[in-house]
Amino acid sequence: MKIQQFEDKGLAHYSYAILSECAGEVVLIDPARDPQPYYDYAVAHNAKIVGVIETHPHADFVSSHLEIHQQTGATIYAHSKVGADYLHQAFDEGAALQVGKVKLKSLYTPGHSPDSISVVLEHEGKDKAVFTGDTLFIGDVGRPDLREKAGSITAKREELARQMYHSTREKLMKLDDDVLVYPAHGAGTLCGKGLSEASSSTIGAEKRTNYALQQMSEEEFVKVLTEDQPFIPKYFGYDVGLNKQGAPAYKPSLEGVKRLEQNFSPEEGAVIVDARGEKAFKKGHHKGAINIQNGNKFETWLGSIVGPEERYYLVAESEEQLHELISKAAKIGYELLIKGAFLLDGEANTKSPQLDVEAFGQHPEDYTIVDIRNASEVKGGRFFENSINIPLPELRERAGEIPTDKPVVVHCAGGYRSAAGSSIVEAALPGATVLDLSEAVNKFK
């Protein structure tokens, strides 16, 4: 028996292949959008993929469960409360899947969502591991506030927090201390608030060190779990729905994105996501474009700034980058929203002014300073005394709140987000001078 963990660093997502060597069969848990790594794993081990288990309808990424079923004939297993639109087998509390000498058992563990399960792996009569989905993380538990408006069953955050209290204490913490814990996410995910950098743990280690598993009353737990959660990206409800339905096949969907000629000119008022570096963007871009630079978190910020009800154009500086960006967009199902994708060589009509950092540092009072960090970050202290805090995910809707009687300087924590933020403010306030503090923010921390 082998357990293989697959990691998508951009979304801090872990998926798993469980191989029964004696049976030559593989079961997948929470696979990512691109199924190819799992096909390659099965081929390398001369095995057949026979099952895909979804611990819940994921909010932060799109799963390939339906495509894998269509390509391999593997059975999809999910809790009956998911109300899945695809052909599947209910995998409710007490259900078990036998693969060679491996038995995979369903535990109903609601809390992150009302339809969450954890999967206990039993080998040769002993529980060896538990795949906890978004219920139990390393150092944290899943946030309870994502299903208030999404999925076939909705639930208030306080109600789900109470369910999480019971799921952890009455189900997961009763497993043996040496049972390995394999979560669906690691540090950097927006599905929790304080995850460890570790990719696995044990039940015993979590009972000792995880703040959420310490002794406390149900009321104390609900208070701790519901406070200071990160923002909810715009795309999360969309992905829950797409996963409940089953996403279209990955490669054909990428190939279906419309490619436009170089330096294409979008129509007035179009949503344009320009993923080139900020220097190239500021030298010349289309009016109203949003500069979400290609980087480790591109897909998260794309889905946080652009809503799932919007169609958008995607701009890159090379064919290689354009392919990479479309692939990243597909991780969250946003390739389906691309109106057209094209290359830009800097010939566009709009330029952005450069900030004189020295003059700004001498007289910051001469500027309206907009801090686009999240509220939880600002709690730790402001960089500038009189700055206005409007978090980046809210900026398109709230840019009108920014006074324009002085030049506007936009900053974040390190420079990546302020490129997007300043481009949003520039588009929203055409009469204002909008400047990006960019990486120079590090001089003022």
CATH code for the structural domain at 357-443: 3.40.250.10
Q: What is the pLDDT of residues 313-335, one digit of tens each?
A: 999 999 999 999 999 999 999 99
Q: How far is C-alpha 140 from the chain's CA centre?
A: 16
Q: What is the pLDDT of residues 102-144, one digit of tens each?
A: 999 999 999 999 999 999 999 999 999 999 999 999 999 998 8
pLDDT greater than 70 at residue 154: no
User: How confident is the model at residue 228, as a pLDDT?
Assistant: 75
Instruction: Tell me the β-bridge partners of 51.
Output: 27, 75
**Where residue 145 falls among pLDDT bands split at 50, 70, 90?**
confident
How does the average pLDDT of the chain come out, rounded? Answer: 94
Distance CA 418, CA 215 (A): 41
Q: What is the pLDDT of residues 253-298, one digit of tens each?
A: 999 999 999 999 999 999 999 999 999 999 999 999 999 999 989 9
Q: How many CA atoms lie within 13 A of 50 on its CB side?
A: 15
User: How confident is the model at residue 227, as a pLDDT?
Assistant: 85
DSSP string, 234-272: TTHHHHHHHHHH-PPPHHHHHHTSPB--TT--PPTT-EE
**Where residue 15 falls among pLDDT bands split at 50, 70, 90?**
very high
Q: What is the pLDDT of residues 417-442, one digit of tens each?
A: 999 999 999 999 998 999 999 999 99
User: How confident is the model at residue 78, as a pLDDT?
Assistant: 98
Q: What is the pLDDT of residues 155-196, one digit of tens each?
A: 788 999 999 999 999 999 999 999 999 999 986 565 554 555
* Residue of 92, 40, 38, 90 whose CA lies nearest to 65: 38
CATH code for the structural domain at 2-238: 3.60.15.10
CATH code for the structural domain at 248-343: 3.40.250.10
CB burial string 262-297: b at 16+ within 10 A, e below: eeeebeeebbbbbbbbbebbbebbbbbbbbbbeeeb
For the chain, which residues make up each domain, given as ranges? 2-238, 248-343, 357-443
pTM above 0.85, yes or no: yes
**Where residue 380 falls among pLDDT bands split at 50, 70, 90?**
confident
CB 81 within 8 A of CB 96: no
Hey, do 248-343 and 357-443 end up sharing a CATH topology, with the first three levels equal? yes
CB 300 within 8 A of CB 233: yes
